[in-house]
Amino acid sequence: MVKQSILTLEQARWLDINNHPTPFVVYEQKWIEANMWRFYKAFDWVLNFQNYFAVKACPNPTILRILKNLWSWADCSSMWELVMSEICGLEWENIMFTSNNTHAAEFIKAHSMWAIINFDDIIHIPFYERQVWEMPEIACCRFNPGELKRGNDIIWKPTNAKYWMTREQIFEAYKMLRDKWVKRFWLHTMVASNELNPDYFIETAKILFELVKELEEKLWIIFEFVNLWGWIWIPYKPEQKEVDLERVSEWIRKEYKELIWETREKAIRIVMECGRMITGPYWQLVTKVQHVTEKYKNYVWVDASMQCLMRPALYWAYHHISVLWKENEPANQIYDVTWSLCENNDKFAIDRQLPEVKKWDYLVIHDAWAHWTAMWFNYNAKLRPAELLKTTDWEIKLIRRAENLQDYFSTVNWIDWFSI
């Protein structure tokens, strides 16, 4: 599959010259909306199927607002994600608070918003009660299936993960919640990140449905919802295929019918908390070539660096790169694509086959949205780039300006240097 660029060369050039110098990132609203509908359609057999978009995947209020208009709610992990979601008009059961090692102030804030509290650790339950002085309306616990799942390179084996409760703890936790008079229960797991194998999701759903039944039978409680997972992968490489959502949905439906529908009086609702899969493919970094040089290897030096796309340096993640206007030319050259951080892993690509690249060419780095802006940093005093949105009316709107020097120095306290 050829990866399409959101902008044409003329648009990129025009933006670069008029007000938005490269690097900048651009989001495509139309594609996000189409993708969201596809996702909801695949699960249309679920009563009120809902996705709680993982805010960490793209903490931009305009994007949260667009998603809210598409009936996608928010999965928050911290105080400021809660506040951002609140500003976007999300509250009550439209917010799931899934944190770990949580500060009391965060629990208090989530409680004041009537968010669904997703407990990561059994000790958080008495902690919550002590700090907040009452229990949540809806409580959820995060299940770690231990040896039942293999995990993957990003999140490791569940038994090595710092998150979630063991099987014994899950029983203990719901008993504790029940005894503290919580009436509404959800169950959650998330055992991999960036997963492509459809069977992995189906297996996980089955494990959760079976666990719900066992918990209900042993503890005499009733579950309202299961939160199946986020972490559906996107095909970062052109030759990879998307997860077949329709197939995943069909198989989950079969498990649901057998384990829940035919054995229970009341339906259980299913929700998910996908981030990357919703928005990841529709966000691209546009950067301009400054130099092309030759050392022991060939280097393309662009004007963006790992400070605005950390994934390749962090996980050796692949991000597809295309050269605007040269998409159909043969990729017969090999380059490392880099910029100027004082780190040798400051590279978007190593030994990447590209068409011949020239100074002032525009490169597009694809599938960049997910967990990217959230990881931006200021190493070497490099500033964060602007975020642009291509709306459904084809207008390009600035939704976050680029940082400037004033932003960079805004936290510095300029003390009198002669006094030290």
Ligand X SMILES: Cc1ncc(COP(=O)(O)O)c(C=O)c1O
Give contact residues for ligand X (rule: CB under 6 A).
54, 56-57, 75, 98, 190, 193-194, 230-232, 273-277, 370
The DSSP code for 62 is H
First to last CA, the chain: 61
Nearer Cβ to ligand X (103/130)? 103
Q: Closest CB to ligand X belongs to which residue? A: 275
Q: Give min distance, CB of 123 to ligand X, in A.
A: 19
Cα distances (angstroms) measured from residue 204 to each of 131, 144, 195, 201, 211: 33, 11, 12, 5, 11
Q: Which residues have CB under 8 Å from 220's CB, separation 6+?
A: 178
Q: Give min distance, CB of 268 to ligand X, in A.
A: 19
Q: Give min distance, CB of 35 to ligand X, in A.
A: 13
Nearer Cβ to ligand X (50/193)? 193
Show the DSSP H helices in 220-335 as ranges: 245-256, 276-279, 311-315
For 277, phi then psi, to 5°, come to -70, -25
Say whether 365 sits in a helix, a strand or coil. Answer: strand
Q: Which residues have CB under 8 Å from 314's CB, separation 6+?
A: 375
Q: Which residues have CB under 8 Å from 159's CB, separation 6+?
A: 144, 146, 147
Q: Give min distance, CB of 303 to ligand X, in A.
A: 28
For 278, phi then psi, to 5°, come to -75, -45
If one counts every other C-beta atom within 10 angstroms of the C-beta of residue 111, the result is 19
Q: Give min distance, CB of 413 to ligand X, in A.
A: 34
Say whether 179 sits in a helix, a strand or coil. Answer: helix
Antiparallel, parallel or unpaired: β 362-365 and 283-294: antiparallel
Q: Give min distance, CB of 143 to ligand X, in A.
A: 12
What are the tokens at 172?
A: 């203990």
Nearer Cβ to ligand X (101/263)? 101
Q: Give min distance, CB of 151 to ligand X, in A.
A: 13
Nearer Cβ to ligand X (310/323)? 310
